[in-house]
Copies of this chain bind each other. A is one copy, B any other.
Amino acid sequence: MNEWKNIKPKKQTVNEIVKQMRSTAFNARKLAEATDIVEEMIKDDSCKRFLGLSGAMVPAGMRMCVVEMIRRRWIDIIVSTGANITHDIAQSYGEEYIQCDPNEVKDLELRKKGYDRIYDVASRIETMTTMEKYIQKILNNIPDGEYSTFDLLYEIGKRIDDSDSIIKCASINKVKIIVPALIDSILGIQIWMNSQSRYLKIDVTKDLDYVINLNFDLKKEGKKTGAFILGGGVPKNFILQSVLVPDKPHNYVVQVTVDTPQYGGLSGATLEEALSWGKIDEESKICTLYCDATIALPLIVSTLIERFE
Contact = CB atoms under 8 A, between A and B. Distances in A.
Interface of A: 1-15, 17, 20-21, 23-29, 31, 54-56, 59-65, 68, 81, 83, 91, 96-103, 107-108, 110-111, 115-122, 164, 180-186, 188-189, 191-192, 195, 201-205, 207-209, 212, 231-234, 237-238, 241, 244-245, 258-267, 269-270, 272-273, 275-278, 282, 290-292, 294-295, 298-299, 301-302, 305-306, 309
A189 B245 contact: yes
A295 B28 contact: yes
Contact of A4 (B98, B238, B299): B98
Residue with the greatest number of chain B CB neighbours at <10 A, chosen from A83, A122, A183: A183
Given A28-B298, A202-B205, A272-B107, A6 B62 contact: yes
Contacts of A201: 203, 205
A192 B99 CA distance: 44
Contacts of A183: 180, 204-205, 207-208, 238
A274 to B, nearest CB: 8
B119 A261 contact: yes
Contact of A107 (B258, B265, B275): B275
A221 B57 CA distance: 38
SS of A interface (majority): mixed
10 contacts: A9-B65, A9-B301, A27-B262, A56-B265, A117-B276, A180-B181, A189-B208, A189-B245, A192-B208, A195-B205
A73 to B, nearest CB: 15
Given A4-B98, A25-B61, 16 more contacts: A1-B100, A11-B305, A23-B61, A25-B60, A25-B264, A25-B294, A29-B99, A108-B275, A108-B276, A111-B275, A182-B204, A186-B241, A202-B205, A233-B233, A234-B234, A258-B263
A107 to B, nearest CB: 4
A191 B238 CA distance: 15
A306 B122 CA distance: 32
A192 B210 CA distance: 11
A244 B192 CA distance: 14
A60 B24 contact: yes
A263 B290 contact: yes
Contacts of A192: 205, 208-209, 212
Closest 9 CB pairs of A and B: A24-B61, A28-B294, A181-B181, A26-B264, A27-B292, A9-B301, A107-B275, A25-B60, A119-B264
A202 B148 CA distance: 12
A279 to B, nearest CB: 10
